[in-house]
Structure 1
Amino acid sequence: MRENHIRKIVILGGGTAGWMSAAALSKINTPPQFEISLVESDDIGTIGVGEATIPTIHWFNNLVGLDEREFLRETKATFKLGIEFQGWNGAGTRFFHPFGIYGDPADGPMFYHRWIRAWLKDKGLDHQALSLAASLAYADRFAPEARSAGLGYAYHFDAGLYAAYLRRIAEGRGVKRTEGKIARVEQDGETGFVTALFTHRGDRLEGDLFIDCSGLRALLIEETLHTGFEDWSHWLVADRALAVPSTRIADPVPFTRSIAHGFGWQWRIPLQHRTGNGMVYGSRFASDDEARAALLANIDGEVLAEPRLIRFTTGKRRQAWNKNVVAIGLSSGFLEPLESTSIHLIQSGIAKLLALFPARDCNPLTARQFNTVFDADMRAVRDFLILHYRNTTGRNEEMWRYCQTMKVPDELLYKEEMFRASGRIVLNTEELFREASWFAVMMGQGIHPADYNPLIAAFSESADNAHFARLSAGIAALVQRAPGHMQVVDRMVSGR
């Protein structure tokens, strides 16, 4: 073994981020190259509101080696085909952000321009009829085999059960767990590297690389290394969330609901055994009592616990990797769960760590590259979230008026202007949300294109209209044949 090889990795904090990190590292540690320790305290709660995911979760579950049927059983999961936004453009309005693509996989990027040309002549055309995910979701059906036809799907699951499931897997692969709160952090006097963690019980956990999964407290990356924080709350004004579970009173639908209120929005996430509910809001626009009352007045089923208050500041660490500490999860920054990106950003950090895995000296160039690509991830998601707030119509409450008139990042403004002027969706190659997502939200928010790519003159308008009709009919027929959402869940959970 090389002298400069990582020998010991210490993960601070359990929860979703900690046990995802432990499961991934233990999976690739074959044959064993390093020891993995995780320290957490049962006395410290986890945020645990990230019960909705996006399709990138398949990458992580495959990496760790999870069987989908067992995963559904262990986490009480249901399927998710997208997000419905209710009331974002005023009472009674809704639009849908579906997973997967619009049209046929063979259509390519010109599909949107061909549709826009037809829509400019007939504003009654419905783009959602050309989304398999949206059509299945509203029919309460599911067809996992349709992934080859462009269907995208993710999951709703119990985040606490997911962490416990991953813990069993990680410990089975040799991860050593230590119970305890951190009483002291030891650092090298010359380099400032963290060398060991001491628990209140007197345990000493020595390491070469430390993964900070301590949540919003950010005990290593911020309290110890004073890395600094970039505040984005002037764009994303929500700074509080209330979370509460309720009983399941109907079959879970295969999508998440995001319901706009005067001072924020409410999530509704259906699981096999219960429903996850929450309210995200800005404290300068509503008191905690007002938000709590609005949340409890809009819950289906019996409330199973007292609503839990979570305070946060939207933004990111100036460096998610500093010295020999890598922040994963909420310790690296916080973006509200409007598009269910919390768990994705955990696995994004893990993927980048694996790709840039360091030697013991943690070369600053490696950390710099990690910070560059992770920073780009965070900013791209940030701008997509701002898009939802900035372009609401039909809402005139104080919070929404602020969002409608605020100055937004130049990159977002450019994307909006390009789509309005030419129908073009301008993305960087590595952005998480692709053309279908931006198209769905911009159209849903009333950002409508005035033109399209002139190269589509090569396509016959009548042929396009016939193509759209065939696509719509084909999707409708597939939906009609597909089983009910919970039929699929029950069949997979039971092993039939």
Structure 2
Amino acid sequence: MSGEPIGRVVIVGGGTAGWMAAAAAARFLDDGQRTITLVESDAIGTVGVGEATIPPIRGFNARLGLDEAEFLRATGGTPKLGIEFVGWTDGTDRYFHPFGTHGRDIEGLNFHQLWLKLRDREGIGPIDDYAMSAVAARAGRFAPPSPDPRSPLAGLEYAYHFDAGLYAALLRRHAEAQGARRIEGRIVGVERDARGHVAAVRLEGDRRVAGDLFLDCSGFRSLLLGEAMGVPFDDWSHWLPCDRAIAVPTERRDPLLPMTRATAHDAGWQWRIPLRHRTGNGHVYASAFVGQDEAERVLMAHCDAPPTGPARHLSFTAGRRQRLWAGNVVALGLSGGFLEPLESTSIHLIQMGISKLFGLFPDLRFSDVERDEYNRLMGDQYASIRDFIILHYAATRRDDTPFWRYVRTMALPETLRRKLALFREKGRIFRYDDELFAIPSWVAVMLGQGIMPDGYDPVVDALDEGRLLTALHQIRAGNAAMAQQMPALS
């Protein structure tokens, strides 16, 4: 039998994580018997997680009922077709991690296996040329995907760049319109009950907010999961040594490009994110290898427009809490963990945490089996994304600075070592469970950074080579022609 239903959901903290949770809870959990309350303080700033996203954000917005055009206007948003990486292999290279697919699979074989066999033939070209998203992004063009499987646009996917603060404000309006309640105030204490669960949070002014389920969106502090519940933090900085970031806005620079750019520097990397009203820039770096003043100098020297605001400095440690759900507390966003924004996964992890929680939503018994399954699923998500980010560093051939020599030679997680070994043998990649990054993403980064397999899947040899060559030439030409027909961003 089910236990008594949860009646009071309390979200601690606003920002992107808090208002994503509030908007989703108001849409899907408020049945007229359940209250959704968000507690935040205007006196406490938010980090503003993420200005670049990945395609699943479109589904999240759609499920909330957000109109895409309204969303883009409200957040200064632009479309994003992928990420261009500059200087990650030898310091002079460029490659593209596209959203969507490379070419199309033939006879059940992954497209990259066909390309591996034919890559040295005349007219084949780099694998980027077979990804519609990459070709369009570099041309500064954008059009939505086509439902016609014969169209080059069928393989295109997109996400968004947007102002995270404006997104949180939009979600707040949406959540409050659907019944979520906001309480202003700074939390000064946490009450726990006989089970060790959080019973209430105490605010300044001798106020108290009680709840049944608490969502910790308090940022790096992890007020409930880390401090109150005492869940330890797993430090992954030996694999991901970048622990600082500097962010600065600059004037909009035309033409707008539908892509994020990640440029490698001596001790980290720089992001460039084009919005309608400005450009977001930042330098993620390892403080063990470069000082703050020099890191800021590097950032400002590589911005392509004048700044429109002061630089903000952030400190973090890569890793996650050992459990993201403890007792009656579930951590979302920075309170549960942080992985540097190299592949724009911060907002996705919030979204995934909300989705998994709703799929395993408890009653007042707070069953161990539901909690354990949530922690397993979210732990796998963090670990698989961690490995994908580590890949960008481990695959480098750079040895020009101490930072790049460290990441090039560091010991890797066993899960990533296995993936690399399989790919180096015959280009094989397997996707496990609901792992975020699909085969085309792993292919893009591995090939983009010069990891070329010794061979290819021998099953490819059963296909007629002439027909394969014709098919690849048609795909490449079709992408190039389609890109020229697509409208430019304005």
TM-score category, normalised to shorter length: over 0.9
Deviation at 1:425, TM superposition (A): 1.0
Q: Assess if the C-alpha contact under 8 Å between 1:212 and 1:327 holds in 2.
A: yes
CA distance in 2, matches of 1:205, 1:108: 56
Alignment of 1:77-476 (within 5 A): 77-104=77-104, 108-119=108-119, 125-146=125-146, 149-188=154-193, 190-476=194-480
Q: Assess if the C-alpha contact under 8 Å between 1:231 and 1:315 holds in 2.
A: yes
Q: Assess if the C-alpha contact under 8 Å between 1:244 and 1:276 holds in 2.
A: yes
- Specify whether residues 116 and 55 from structure 1 end up closer, same or farther in structure 2 by C-alpha distance, changes over 3 A only: same
Q: Please tell me the residue identity of whatever aligns with 1:17.
A: A
CA distance in 2, matches of 1:421, 1:367: 39
CA distance in 2, matches of 1:453, 1:106: 13
Q: Assess if the C-alpha contact under 8 Å between 2:123 and 2:473 holds in 1.
A: no
Q: Please tell me the residue identity of whatever aligns with 1:55.
A: P
Q: Assess if the C-alpha contact under 8 Å between 2:12 and 2:215 holds in 1.
A: yes
Q: Please tell me the residue identity of whatever aligns with 1:318.
A: Q
Deviation at 1:125, TM superposition (A): 2.6
Deviation at 1:329, TM superposition (A): 0.5
Three-state SS of the structure 2 residue aligned to 1:277 is: strand
- Specify whether residues 108 and 42 from structure 1 end up closer, same or farther in structure 2 by C-alpha distance, changes over 3 A only: farther
Report the aligned-residue RMSD: 1.6
Three-state SS of the structure 1 residue aligned to 2:280 is: strand
Q: Assess if the C-alpha contact under 8 Å between 1:244 and 1:278 holds in 2.
A: yes
- Specify whether residues 288 and 135 from structure 1 end up closer, same or farther in structure 2 by C-alpha distance, changes over 3 A only: same
Q: Please tell me the residue identity of whatever aligns with 2:336.
A: S
Specify the alignment match of 1:477 in structure 2. 481
CA distance in 2, matches of 1:5, 1:109: 48
CA distance in 1, matches of 2:451, 2:123: 14
Specify the alignment match of 1:14 in structure 2. 14
Q: Please tell me the residue identity of whatever aligns with 1:133.
A: S
Deviation at 1:124, TM superposition (A): 6.5
Deviation at 1:119, TM superposition (A): 1.5
Higher mean displacement: 66-75 or 56-65: 56-65
Deviation at 1:449, TM superposition (A): 1.0
Deviations 1:226-258 (A, max 9, x none): 110111000000000011111113232100000
Deviation at 1:358, TM superposition (A): 0.4
CA distance in 1, matches of 2:390, 2:442: 12
CA distance in 2, matches of 1:150, 1:44: 43
Q: Assess if the C-alpha contact under 8 Å between 2:321 and 2:336 holds in 1.
A: yes
Three-state SS of the structure 2 residue aligned to 1:485 is: coil
- Specify whether residues 71 and 479 from structure 1 end up closer, same or farther in structure 2 by C-alpha distance, changes over 3 A only: same
Three-state SS of the structure 1 residue aligned to 2:146 is: helix
Deviations 1:275-330 (A, max 9, x none): 00100001000011110111111112121222111100100000000000000001
Q: Please tell me the residue identity of whatever aligns with 2:146.
A: A
- Specify whether residues 399 and 90 from structure 1 end up closer, same or farther in structure 2 by C-alpha distance, changes over 3 A only: same
Higher mean displacement: 119-128 or 425-434: 119-128
Three-state SS of the structure 1 residue aligned to 2:201 is: strand
- Specify whether residues 107 and 200 from structure 1 end up closer, same or farther in structure 2 by C-alpha distance, changes over 3 A only: farther
Q: Please tell me the residue identity of whatever aligns with 2:352.
A: S
Specify the alignment match of 1:71 in structure 2. 71
Question: TM-score by structure 2 length?
Answer: 0.96
CA distance in 2, matches of 1:364, 1:182: 28
Deviations 1:387-443 (A, max 9, x none): 000111244210110000000011111111111111111221311000100000000
CA distance in 1, matches of 2:110, 2:436: 20
Specify the alignment match of 2:151 in structure 1. none
- Unaligned residue ranges in structure 1 (runs of 5+): 487-496
Q: Assess if the C-alpha contact under 8 Å between 1:8 and 1:36 holds in 2.
A: yes
CA distance in 2, matches of 1:207, 1:397: 52
CA distance in 2, matches of 1:31, 1:200: 31
Deviation at 1:73, TM superposition (A): 0.6
Deviation at 1:3, TM superposition (A): 6.2
Q: Please tell me the residue identity of whatever aligns with 2:299.
A: L
Deviation at 1:106, TM superposition (A): 6.5
CA distance in 1, matches of 2:255, 2:31: 45
Give the number of aligned pairs: 485
- Specify whether residues 124 and 3 from structure 1 end up closer, same or farther in structure 2 by C-alpha distance, changes over 3 A only: closer
Deviation at 1:49, TM superposition (A): 4.4
Specify the alignment match of 1:38 in structure 2. 38
CA distance in 2, matches of 1:305, 1:110: 46
Deviation at 1:473, TM superposition (A): 1.4
Higher mean displacement: 135-144 or 86-95: 86-95
- Unaligned residue ranges in structure 2 (runs of 5+): 149-153
